[in-house]
């Protein structure tokens, strides 16, 4: 596994991170524990979790997995939004809603059950510490390595009250570093306002290219370590698969000149794109299937390629010939 220096934590971390979004919901505890162990054995030491992940089960599952391993991992926790309790009926309907959203990604916004995050009101600055304490109890630890602020507004990122609350948490040792997760505008505002936010987490598929825009926008100052996600989720995988299959094999033939071919052409292309576009940061993936874990860890062990992002953008995103 390739490692990268994370200055905010003063240590090296694996360039592939394990996203716990499905632990306890789509993925059972037993399958999740097997996946966590398989990734950890292959060198993954960054674990990303949030109170709402796995319909509220992921923190406890990860906490149980981390017994005896806590000091060998980076625990990254995203908080900052009020939790919405899920009724038993909604809990039953969510897998179906998620399946529909995966089949018809263009209608994702029509299924509120699949996207509770944006519906949840933000926590006030003085509520963050109490929310963190509840998460620490579920995670069975006394600190997280990274406290990630969940989708704050640019105003939240520069607010005195928020910065004081976060510094208090750092001073008390409840977190080692603080991050912003969310929109590029909030990340840029946070980076300009303070040296507090040493890590930035955001979605970055070939169709967004957010890392490039952020690198340009933050140029000059100390750039936060990037933690990116979204390489397979949200319909990206299927969209690339469709594009590659829709031109009579011309794109696949071009990709083969770079060494990509069946059976994992799209998977490897997207992974290499993600690592190339974030070469000194962490790429998060949810992964419960052992084939996915092995593939992701294998690609995370290679040095980042500089030919794959231009190829993906030119031929797949822009559709140029």
Rg, Å, the chain Cα set: 19
Assign 93 to helix, strand or coil.
Answer: helix
Q: How far is the CB of 297 from ligand NAP (least distance, A)?
A: 10
Please provide the size of the chain in residues.
321
The binder of ligand NAP chosen from 286, 297, 300, 308 (CB under 6 A): 286
Q: Which of residues 224-263 bind ligand NAP (CB under 6 A)?
A: 229-234, 237
Of 220 and 285, nearer to ligand NAP (C-beta) is: 285
Distance CA 252, CA 244 (A): 6
CB of 265 to ligand NAP, least distance (A): 11
Q: Which of 153, 159, 289, 301 binds ligand NAP (CB under 6 A)?
A: 289
Residues ≥6 apart with Cβ < 8 Å to 170? 176, 177, 178
For residues 46 and 12, the answer to whether their CB atoms sit within 8 Å is no
Contacts of 226 (CB under 8 A, 6+ apart): 199, 200, 201, 202, 204, 211, 214, 278, 280, 281, 282
- 295 part of the interface to ligand NAP, by CB under 6 A: yes
CA distance 219 to 21: 31
Smallest gap from residue 76 Cβ to ligand NAP (A) = 8
Residue from 132, 136, 146, 284 binding ligand NAP (CB under 6 A): 284
Smallest distance, ligand NAP to C-beta of residue 282, A: 10
Q: Find the binder of ligand NAP among 66, 74, 79, 287 (CB under 6 A).
A: 287
Q: Which parts of 64-83 interact with ligand NAP (CB under 6 A)?
A: 78
Find out whether 83 and 56 touch, Cβ atoms under 8 Å.
Answer: yes
**Count of residues that interact with ligand NAP, criterion CB under 6 A:** 24
Least CB distance to ligand NAP at residue 220 (A): 25
Q: Measure the CA–CA gap between 309 and 260, rounded to whole angstroms.
A: 13
Q: Which of 285, 300, 309, 316 binds ligand NAP (CB under 6 A)?
A: 285
Are the CB atoms for 152 and 74 separated by under 8 Å? Answer: no
In the chain, which ranges are E strands?
3-6, 11-14, 16-19, 46-49, 74-79, 144-150, 175-181, 197-203, 225-229, 282-285
Q: Residues 139-178 vs ligand NAP: string with x where CB under 6 A?
A: ----------------------------------------
Candidates 122-130, 167-175, 206-214, 286-294 — which segment interacts with ligand NAP by CB under 6 A?
Answer: 286-294
In the bound state with ligand NAP, the residue whose beta carbon lies nearer, of 218 and 231, is 231
Is cis: bond before 263, omega within 30 of 0? yes
Whichever of 160 and 279 has its CB closer to ligand NAP, that residue is 279
Footprint of ligand NAP on this chain (CB under 6 A)?
Answer: 19-21, 48, 78, 181, 201, 229-234, 237, 267, 284-289, 292, 295-296
């Amino acid at each position: 596994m390739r490692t990268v220096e994370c200055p905010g934590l003063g240590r090296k971390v694996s360039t592939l991170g394990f996203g716990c979004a499905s632990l306890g919901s789509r993925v059972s505890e037993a399958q999740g524990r097997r996946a966590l162990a398989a990734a950890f054995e292959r060198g993954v030491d960054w674990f990303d979790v949030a109170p709402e992940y796995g319909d509220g089960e992921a923190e406890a599952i990860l906490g149980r997995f981390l017994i005896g391993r806590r000091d060998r991992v980076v625990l990254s926790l995203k908080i900052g939004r009020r939790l919405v309790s899920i009724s038993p009926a909604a809990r039953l309907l969510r897998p179906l809603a998620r399946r529909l959203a995966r089949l018809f990604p263009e209608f994702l916004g029509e299924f509120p059950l699949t996207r509770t995050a944006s519906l949840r009101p933000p926590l006030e600055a003085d509520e963050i510490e109490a929310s963190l304490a509840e998460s620490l109890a579920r995670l069975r630890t006394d600190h997280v390595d990274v406290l990630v602020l969940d989708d704050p507004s640019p105003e939240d990122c520069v607010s005195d009250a928020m910065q004081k609350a976060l510094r208090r948490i750092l001073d008390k040792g409840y977190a080692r570093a603080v991050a912003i997760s969310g929109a590029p505008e909030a990340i840029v505002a946070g980076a300009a306002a303070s040296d507090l936010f040493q890590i930035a987490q955001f979605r970055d598929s070939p169709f967004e290219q957010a890392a490039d825009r952020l690198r340009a926008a933050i140029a000059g100052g100390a750039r936060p370590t990037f933690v990116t996600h979204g390489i397979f989720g949200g319909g990206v995988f299927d969209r690339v698969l469709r594009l590659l299959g829709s031109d009579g094999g011309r794109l696949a033939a071009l990709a083969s000149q770079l060494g990509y071919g069946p059976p994992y052409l799209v998977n490897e292309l997207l992974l290499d794109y993600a690592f190339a576009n974030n070469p000194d940061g962490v790429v998060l993936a949810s992964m419960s299937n052992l084939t996915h874990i092995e593939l992701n860890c294998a690609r995370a062990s290679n040095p980042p390629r500089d030919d794959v992002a231009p190829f993906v953008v030119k031929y797949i995103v822009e559709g140029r010939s």
